[in-house]
Structure 1
Amino acid sequence: MAVHKLILDDIFEDVSCTLIAIHCAIEDYRLAYLLNKYLNITLSRKPKDLDFNKGITKYALFEYEDQKKLITWNLVSNICKIETDSKAEQQSLFNAQHKVIKTYNLIPEYGKVNYFLKIDNEFNNNTEKQIINNLLKIPQIALAYNVDMSLLKSKEHLIFD
């Protein structure tokens, strides 16, 4: 019997998408509203958040499917903050518990980025620049720029299906 071996190393090289990093300090639903207004799209929150580490970390996920142009837009949060209890390591008279806030990132290489806008279509440079310029017109967005997907180590976190 013949043995067949599948090699999936180059699976992401065929994926054509645009990834834009967004730095802003507003809530995810407000950013989705502003993106809908300025980009003329209709992002809506998915019923389930993006879940990693068996429910420990959850990232807000918004999606819009453009049926005419066959383009899918996704807005995903990059930061998840979890509040946990922590005991003091040393034995003391008072064994106090205090709250510790741990921060997790969907894409650890870009820890300072608040949100990612993933567009499942590779645009030419002019269209991409136009989208970024429209994003920068939003007063609440401090910075927006293109991210090269080929340089990401954790690009498997950007598969939302």
Structure 2
Amino acid sequence: MQVHTVSFDDFSCTEYHIFGIHSALEDYQLAYLLNSFLSINFKRCKDDIDLKIKANEAYFPLYEYTNYQTDNSWFLVSNVYKTKIQGDNLGLFSESETRLFLLPEKKKVDYFLKLEGEFTQHRIDKINEVINEIPQVITSYNIDTNTLKSKEFLIF
């Protein structure tokens, strides 16, 4: 009997690019601005990315846009999930805020933009340039996917 092993590469798109976006905007506000500036049409996915991190449930909002003419898919996902913890042993303050991260090694990144499909380097640079022109975006940059330890969380 032949055994087939499944690897991470079986589930991931071979051609994708990831941008890190720093912004204090809410996810829906950033999606709206990206739609406006890039002439795309992000829509909120029915299901968020659900993870259990350190005994806490975390839900990361996910937005998707598919261009059927070029066969490209775009995904916008928040890197931060904020949850409030209530307890009697917190002293003067009865609740505390905890932040959980989709990719813990990139804690300073607020959002990830994942582009799947074929993109020229010129197109990638142009997308990054346009994102950086949005006044509410602090910065945006391309992330080398080979440096990510938790990239399996970016499979959607």
Q: TM-score higher than 0.5 here? A: yes
For the pair 1:112 / 2:108, whether they are aligned, the reply is yes
Q: Establish whether residue 6 from structure 1 lines up as the match of residue 2 from structure 2.
A: no
Q: Deviations over 1:89-128 (max 9, x none)?
A: 8xxxxx7772011100001111011101001024232111
Taking the TM superposition and a 5 Å limit, the aligned residue runs for 1:15-34 are 15-34=14-33
Percent identity of the aligned residues? 35
TM-score, structure 2 normalization: 0.89
What is residue 34 of structure 2 aligned with on the other side?
35
Q: Is the 8 A contact 1:43 1:62 kept in 2?
A: yes
| Equivalent in the alignment of 1:77 | 78
The C-alpha deviation readout for 1:117-144, integer Å capped at 9, x for no partner, is 0010242321111000010110000100
User: Which residue of 1 is the match for residue 146 of structure 2?
Assistant: 150
Runs of 4+, deviation exceeding 3 Å: 9-14
CA RMSD across the alignment:
2.1
Matched letter for residue 30 of structure 1: Q
What TM-score do the two structures reach when normalised by structure 1?
Answer: 0.87
Q: Of the two, which has the highest radius of gyration?
A: 1
Give distance in 2, aligned partners of 1:97 and 1:31.
32
Q: What is the count of residue pairs matched by the alignment?
A: 154
Q: Which has the higher helix share?
A: 2
Extract unaligned runs of 5+ from structure 2.
none
What is the Cα deviation at residue 10 of structure 1? 4.6
